[in-house]
Structure 1
Amino acid sequence: MTGPRRKLPGVARIGIGGPVGSGKTALVERLIPAMKARNLEVGVVANDIVTQEDAERIKRSGLIDPARVLAVETGACPHTAIREDPTLNIQAVESLVETFPELDVVLIESGGDNLASTFSLELVDYWLFVIDTAGGDDIPRKRGLGILRSDLLVINKTDLAPFVGANIDLMVEDANEVRRGRPVMLTNCKTGEGVAAIVDRLVEDVIFAA
């Protein structure tokens, strides 16, 4: 079983990883207002390989002060900047905290990566790995490191399951088996279904709010 690594005063650093198109940015856009509704002060660091597209999308969303969103251009495989050498991301988080010392949480979104991506524990206190039903209901059985080791596995785009022939119950069953007790949660970021439960889990496990 995974357990909280941080329940201390100060900013909680939460990683959000997963393959391209799994819905990471959409989840961030849902988490921001859900966290603000809990009186949590939020910042965002968004990673892309050679663009700032995800960061700009979040800035334009109207959900958060654009100054609280920083972009990191990794220039290489996305997992490099969140695992092998997370220096750029660590510096981005430190910059946000220096500018906005009232922050409770910084969401660190990885660039789109594969099932093997993981976060350095020097960078994050807790991390979510996002997969989606449109990728196929066999994804949990592929046992990528993100699926096995993330603190929380999020199965997103549950609304698409009927259209792609995915069996959500099977995905959850397989995920629970390979994760051996680590939590698995379902979301539909189009409607916001499941997002409040994720915030509850994060507050319980890792976020300190004064």
Structure 2
Amino acid sequence: MPDPSPTRGLRLGVCGPVGTGKSSLIALLCRELAGSLSIAVVTNDIYTDEDARFLRAAGVLEPERIRAVETGACPHTAIRDDITANLLAVEELEDEFVPDLVLIESGGDNLTATFSPALVDVQIFVLDIAGGGDVARKGGPGIERADLLVVNKTDLAPHVGVDRERMVADALTAREGRPVIALSRAERSSIEELTAWVTAQLDRHRDGQLIPVDPGPMAPHSHAPTDAHAHGDHDHPAA
């Protein structure tokens, strides 16, 4: 696991399905925090540096502080199973810039994507409210156990027929009280809630109180016949 030590910056992972606004969320954090913190970014794409180019074009940081990792395979693999390329990119940025905060963006993945605790100290899972009001209820390791769940683009709720309050309530239930932020670029209070959460994690890291926790993959779940089923017991393994 990463050494939760004030001798290096906080490594914060941002993951979630394609199109949920991960790059935009990272751009937002850079705009809000770069005035007070030294920040660097690592992006992940399969065969391109599209996300890195988006962030450079947005002018949120000096271009050299944004590095792209081309995974060549499933983005989930590069943030969880074989983190070598990402870890090298992070360490190069840390050696060169000594950042307070390194943001690591997963390439677009699905509801099962989570970071290895050997790569990040803390992680955010991002959902798009336009993806449907039932998404939070579907669960999965990122939705249920990431350090923070962001329900993004909530200003779109009236336009896509989603009840924002119900979706957030469902997310809180799925997460058993772990933090959820309903984020809208048009709602200043939600932006401040997000930046306050990030700076609080940085403070915990600097104090040596932040211990990376692995959200983990989903537990095996099968409907195949078992001896228990033969005796009328239909319980499934706990997630």
- TM-score, length basis structure 1: 0.92
The one-character-per-residue Cα deviations of 1:59-83 (angstroms, maximum 9, x if unpaired) are 1111210000000011111100001
- For 1:177 and 1:7, the matched residues in 2 are separated by 33
Which of 123, 128, 134 is residue 130 of structure 2 equivalent to?
A: 134
The one-character-per-residue Cα deviations of 1:154-183 (angstroms, maximum 9, x if unpaired) are 000101110110111111111111101210
* Structure 1 residue ranges, 4+ long, deviating more than 4 angstroms after superposition: 190-193, 207-210
Which of 103, 116, 123 is residue 120 of structure 1 equivalent to?
A: 116
- For 1:7 and 1:132, the matched residues in 2 are separated by 33
- For 1:176 and 1:7, the matched residues in 2 are separated by 30
Structure 1's unaligned 5+ residue stretches are none
- For 2:14 and 2:177, the matched residues in 1 are separated by 20
Letter in 1 for 2:64: A
Alpha-carbon shift at residue 33 of structure 1 (Å): 1.6
Counterpart secondary structure, 1:200: helix
Letter in 2 for 1:116: T
Letter in 2 for 1:55: A
- For 2:139 and 2:67, the matched residues in 1 are separated by 32
> What's the C-alpha RMSD, in Å, of the aligned pairs?
1.8
Which of 139, 147, 153 is residue 151 of structure 1 equivalent to?
A: 147
Contact 1:6/1:206 (8 A) holds in 2: no
Contact 1:104/1:209 (8 A) holds in 2: no
The answer to whether the aligner puts 1:29 opposite 2:36 as a matched pair is no
- 2:104 aligned partner: 108
- TM-score, length basis structure 2: 0.81
Q: Which structure has more RCO (C-alpha within 8 Å, separation ≥ 6)? A: 1
- For 2:114 and 2:66, the matched residues in 1 are separated by 22
Contact 1:40/1:209 (8 A) holds in 2: no
Percent identical residues? 47
The one-character-per-residue Cα deviations of 1:103-141 (angstroms, maximum 9, x if unpaired) are 100000000110010100000000000001100010111
Contact 1:125/1:206 (8 A) holds in 2: no
Alpha-carbon shift at residue 145 of structure 1 (Å): 1.4
* Residues 76 and 191 of structure 1, relative CA distance in 2, 3 Å threshold: farther
The answer to whether the aligner puts 1:196 opposite 2:192 as a matched pair is yes
- For 1:7 and 1:206, the matched residues in 2 are separated by 11
- 1:55 aligned partner: 52
* Residues 88 and 192 of structure 1, relative CA distance in 2, 3 Å threshold: farther
Alpha-carbon shift at residue 144 of structure 1 (Å): 1.6
Q: How many residues align?
A: 204
- For 2:68 and 2:188, the matched residues in 1 are separated by 25
The one-character-per-residue Cα deviations of 1:28-84 (angstroms, maximum 9, x if unpaired) are 1100021123x1100000101111000011111112100000000111111000011
Counterpart secondary structure, 1:119: coil
Alpha-carbon shift at residue 10 of structure 1 (Å): 2.0
- For 1:195 and 1:74, the matched residues in 2 are separated by 31
